[in-house]
């Protein structure tokens, strides 16, 4: 920095110069308004602060000219406070008197200086509200940015940038249309916003982009256990039988639910018993029964409905009833004799899935049994929770060929109610014609017992689990000769073990074998019947109302129904007969069923009629062990049927009848008329 001697003294007359130097301005701030580095100037004693000097430099009273090197204005005109003058005098190389010709007309006022009419503000400054201020066009409002843009000041100018949601060069900004790419789904309407959009969703949808279908089933709108199916802004209800309406809220045919009027449809076929009749759970008066959803007087006898027959062309012999596909409706299994020829023996299984209304679906057919299949039971042999089918196979025209059982395992969850190829196990004796199932050794695994009419034997075959069976154990039973011999499994003495009941048509008696709980049985105890006729089929029930299990059997060529009174301990009285018909007809080993068919609380029975016209004969119980014969109910299929079973196929609380007819190749269902 160059020192120009005497340049300022010629302009000002300043007294007591040495005193002014003592009161000098000390500043370590290089940004002081005079532009100099005053760090080493003067003494610190009594010095003004840099802030004071800065303020006084701008708002002082003595004008000086400061060389700043600007092209337009090489000098900056400053007002210097008297107390700061000594500091500036030490740097006269940068300061000249205002009156110096080199400064005249070339000076400018610095930032923060009061405006002067004769001296302009320096470059980059403008006079604003009486003070030289930086040229911030953004603050001064002199920029040309769009109203939807942001102005940013720069050292020499400014920039414009469009705000979020707008596009352009900053001088001109236009709104970006966020709806242009159709962000709203499922028919929603897009409404453009500033850097955003909103969707007005179509009915049935929700979400920021209408992407979510509203589940109208979430609030369970379907009543009375109806099944809800979600739709678009809608739902549908699949109603249970007897209910209707958008929400299954009404009874079929009327809104008058539980009004006691059966014609409105709500109370049809939903009865359980006289104490809880129909869907309304009504209690019937004393002596009344529940029928067709209403209370009525019990009929004096059975009321069979109209027979329903379907083709079964594989020589059907015997039916069994069970729910094998787990849908809650009972199904029908049939053991088929097929040819029955000694040259080409074979047996098979037919399955008819039930619809729950006493009708059935088309036949499913399974082959593979080595001999004629004579009877079938449904039982879970492998412990998987699904009922399997087991047939007993044997032929009396092959007297030296041992019979067998064929196990058809249910495919379960993969194909409910369908079956695999059979696995065969020997009965160890020829002429095997009938079977029953129980747990003879109390191991939780199903066992099988069969009868042999060739050698008058019972074969006990214990299950091994997983669908397998062990070697048979044989028990001799006198007089089981003839295909009319049958076998049944039932706990007769209340000890929890399955006992055996075997009929011997040749000796007209009933044999009881009490289980020992380990797979063996006590010696058979025989009971004769009063008429000394054949004893063929077996049915169970309390025929005399004493709370103890009794046995019914058809016999004497179909002329009698025999009642063997139970003592509750596995012993029985000899059979007492009720006359069925004076006509001599052939017996059937599976020719009797028992249930309360007319709802009066007393055990009734049906006997199979095997004449060429075919049919069943009702035997109405009197509650004391006696029965009254009714007229034969024709099945509409000829020649006569071979076997009978009873079960509630339509869920109305009363058992229906199932019959097989080998001669006509049919399966017949007779619904209960109540």
Q: Report whether 593 contacts 541 (CB < 8 A).
A: no
Q: Report whether 614 contacts 632 (CB < 8 A).
A: no
Interacting residues of 344 by C-beta distance below 8 A, sequence separation 6+: none
Q: What is the mean pLDDT of residues 394-415?
A: 95
Long-range contacts of 15-24 (CB under 8 A, 24+ apart): 17/86, 20/82, 20/83, 20/85, 20/86, 21/86, 22/46, 23/47, 23/48, 23/83, 23/86, 24/84, 24/86, 24/87
Residues of 291-313 as b/e, b for ≥16 C-beta within 10 angstroms?
bbbbbbebbebbbbbebbbeebe
Q: What is the pLDDT of residue 206?
A: 92
Which secondary structure element, helix H or strand E, spans residue 18, and what is its range? helix 17-22
Main-chain phi, psi angles of 22, to 5 degrees: -65, -40
pLDDT band of residue 616 (cuts 50, 70, 90) is confident
Interacting residues of 483 by C-beta distance below 8 A, sequence separation 6+: 374, 396, 433, 453, 589
Q: What is the pLDDT of residue 617?
A: 87
Q: What is the pLDDT of residue 669?
A: 95
Q: Pick from 385, 457, 363, 472: which is nearest to 424 by CA?
A: 472
Interacting residues of 23 by C-beta distance below 8 A, sequence separation 6+: 46, 47, 48, 83, 86
Q: What is the pLDDT of residue 243?
A: 74
Q: Which residue shows structure tokens 């059937």?
A: 588
pLDDT single digits (tens) 636-661 = 666 667 889 999 998 888 999 999 98
Higher-confidence residue of 39 and 106: namely 106
Tokens of 650: 């339509």
Taking 60 as the threshold, does the pLDDT of residue 553 lie above it? yes
Please name each of the domains of the chain with its CATH number. 17-135 (no CATH), 138-175 (2.10.25.10), 308-670 (2.130.10.10)
Give the predicted TM-score (pTM) of the model: 0.63
Please list the helix, strand and coil fractions of the chain in percent, rounded to the nearest 5, in that order.
5, 40, 55
25-29, 590-594, 602-606 — which is least confidently predicted? 25-29
Taking 50 as the threshold, does the pLDDT of residue 69 lie above it? yes
Q: What is the pLDDT of residue 254?
A: 43
**CA–CA distance, 32 with 44 (Å, rounded to integer):** 17
Distance of alpha carbon 559 from the chain centroid: 56
Q: Report whether 534 contacts 587 (CB < 8 A).
A: yes
Taking 80 as the threshold, does the pLDDT of residue 1 lie above it? no
Interacting residues of 225 by C-beta distance below 8 A, sequence separation 6+: 240, 248
Q: What is the pLDDT of residue 283?
A: 76
Taking 60 as the threshold, does the pLDDT of residue 584 lie above it? no
Q: Report whether 488 contacts 538 (CB < 8 A).
A: yes
Which of the listed ranges 119-128, 549-558, 650-659 does the model predict with the highest average pLDDT? 650-659
Q: Percent of the chain at pLDDT above 70?
A: 74
Handedness of CA 20, 26, 32, 36 (dihedral sign): positive
pLDDT band of residue 373 (cuts 50, 70, 90) is very high
Cα distances from 547 to residues 130, 539, 551, 594, in angstroms, run 121, 16, 13, 15
Taking 60 as the threshold, does the pLDDT of residue 270 lie above it? no
Q: Percent of the chain at pLDDT above 90?
A: 46
Higher-confidence residue of 271 and 389: namely 389
Q: Pick from 434, 418, 437: which is nearest to 350 by CA?
A: 418
58-62, 558-562, 578-582 — which is least confidently predicted? 58-62
Q: What is the pLDDT of residue 521?
A: 97
**CA–CA distance, 522 with 514 (Å, rounded to integer):** 5
Q: Pick from 410, 281, 430: which is nearest to 333 by CA?
A: 410
Higher-confidence residue of 381 and 510: namely 381
Q: What is the pLDDT of residue 394?
A: 94
Taking 90 as the threshold, does the pLDDT of residue 316 lie above it? yes
Which secondary structure element, helix H or strand E, spans residue 20, and what is its range? helix 17-22
**CA–CA distance, 193 with 627 (Å, rounded to integer):** 90
Higher-confidence residue of 334 and 653: namely 334
Taking 60 as the threshold, does the pLDDT of residue 322 lie above it? yes
**CA–CA distance, 329 with 656 (Å, rounded to integer):** 13
22-26, 127-131, 573-577, 639-643 — which is least confidently predicted? 22-26
Q: What is the pLDDT of residue 18?
A: 26
Taking 80 as the threshold, does the pLDDT of residue 9 lie above it? no
Average pLDDT of the chain is 80
Tokens of 77: 């005109």
Q: Pick from 156, 88, 78: which is nearest to 110 by CA?
A: 78
Q: What is the mean pLDDT of residues 424-443?
A: 95
């Amino acid at each position: 920095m160059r020192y120009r001697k005497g340049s300022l003294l010629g302009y000002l007359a300043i007294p007591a110069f040495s005193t002014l130097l003592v009161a000098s301005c000390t500043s370590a701030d290089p940004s002081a308004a005079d532009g100099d580095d005053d760090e080493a100037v003067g003494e610190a004693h009594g010095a003004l602060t840099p802030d004071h000097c800065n303020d006084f430099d701008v708002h002082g009273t003595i004008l000086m000219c400061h060389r700043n090197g600007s092209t337009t204005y090489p000098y900056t005109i400053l007002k210097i406070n008297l107390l700061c003058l000594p500091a500036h005098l030490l740097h006269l190389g940068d300061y000249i008197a205002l009156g110096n010709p080199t400064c005249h007309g070339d000076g400018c006022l610095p930032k923060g200086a009061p405006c002067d009419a004769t001296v302009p503000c320096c470059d980059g400054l403008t006079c604003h509200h009486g003070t030289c201020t930086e040229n911030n066009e953004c603050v001064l409002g002199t920029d040309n940015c769009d109203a939807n843009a942001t102005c940013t000041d720069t050292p020499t100018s400014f920039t414009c940038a469009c705000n979020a949601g707008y596009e352009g060069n900053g001088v001109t900004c236009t709104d970006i249309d966020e709806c242009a790419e159709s962000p709203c789904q499922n028919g929603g309407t897009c409404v453009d916003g500033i850097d955003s959009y909103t969707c007005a969703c179509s009915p049935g949808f929700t979400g920021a982009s209408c992407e979510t279908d509203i589940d109208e089933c979430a609030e369970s709108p379907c009543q009375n256990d109806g099944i809800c199916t979600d739709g678009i802004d809608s739902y549908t209800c699949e109603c249970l039988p007897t209910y209707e309406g958008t929400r299954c809220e009404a009874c079929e045919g009327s809104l008058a639910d539980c009004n006691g009027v059966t014609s409105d449809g709500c109370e049809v076929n939903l009865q359980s018993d006289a104490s809880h009749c129909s869907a309304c759970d009504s209690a019937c008066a004393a002596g009344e029964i529940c029928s067709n959803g209403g209370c009525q007087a019990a009929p004096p006898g059975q009321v069979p409905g109209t027979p329903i027959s379907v083709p079964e062309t594989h020589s059907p012999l015997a039916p069994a009833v069970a729910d094998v596909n787990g849908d809650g409706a009972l199904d029908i299994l049939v053991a088929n004799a097929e040819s029955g020829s000694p040259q080409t023996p074979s047996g098979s299984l037919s399955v008819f899935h039930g619809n729950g209304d006493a009708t059935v679906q088309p036949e499913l057919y399974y082959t593979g049994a080595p001999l004629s299949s004579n009877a079938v039971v449904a039982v879970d042999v492998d412990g998987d929770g699904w009922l399997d089918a087991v047939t007993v196979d044997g032929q009396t025209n092959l007297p030296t060929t041992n019979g067998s059982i064929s196990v058809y395992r249910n495919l379960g969850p993969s194909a409910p109610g369908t079956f695999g190829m059979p696995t065969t196990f020997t009965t160890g004796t020829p002429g095997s014609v009938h079977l029953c199932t129980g747990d003879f050794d109390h191991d939780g695994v199903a066992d099988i017992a069969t009868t042999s009419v060739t050698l008058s034997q019972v074969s006990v075959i214990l299950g091994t689990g997983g669908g397998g069976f062990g070697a048979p154990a044989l028990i001799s039973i006198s007089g089981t000769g003839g295909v009319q011999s049958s076998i049944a499994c039932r706990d007769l003495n209340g000890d929890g073990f399955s006992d055996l009941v075997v009929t011997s048509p040749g000796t007209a008696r009933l044999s009881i074998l009490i289980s020992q709980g380990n797979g063996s049985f006590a010696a058979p105890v025989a009971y004769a019947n009063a008429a000394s006729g054949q004893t063929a089929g077996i049915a169970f029930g309390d025929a005399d109302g004493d709370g103890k299990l009794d046995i019914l059997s058809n016999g004497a060529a179909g002329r009698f129904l025999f009642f063997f009174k139970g003592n509750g301990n596995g012993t029985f009285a000899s059979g007492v007969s009720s006359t069925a018909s004076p006509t001599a007809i052939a017996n059937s080993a599976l020719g009797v069923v028992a249930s309360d068919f007319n709802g009066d609380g007393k055990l009734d029975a049906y006997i199979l009629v095997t004449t060429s016209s075919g049919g069943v004969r009702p035997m109405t119980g009197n509650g004391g062990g006696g029965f009254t014969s009714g007229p034969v109910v024709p099945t509409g299929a000829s020649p006569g049927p071979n076997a009978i079973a009873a079960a509630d196929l339509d869920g109305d609380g009363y058992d229906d009848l199932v019959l097989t007819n080998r001669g006509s190749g049919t399966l017949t269902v007779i619904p209960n008329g109540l």
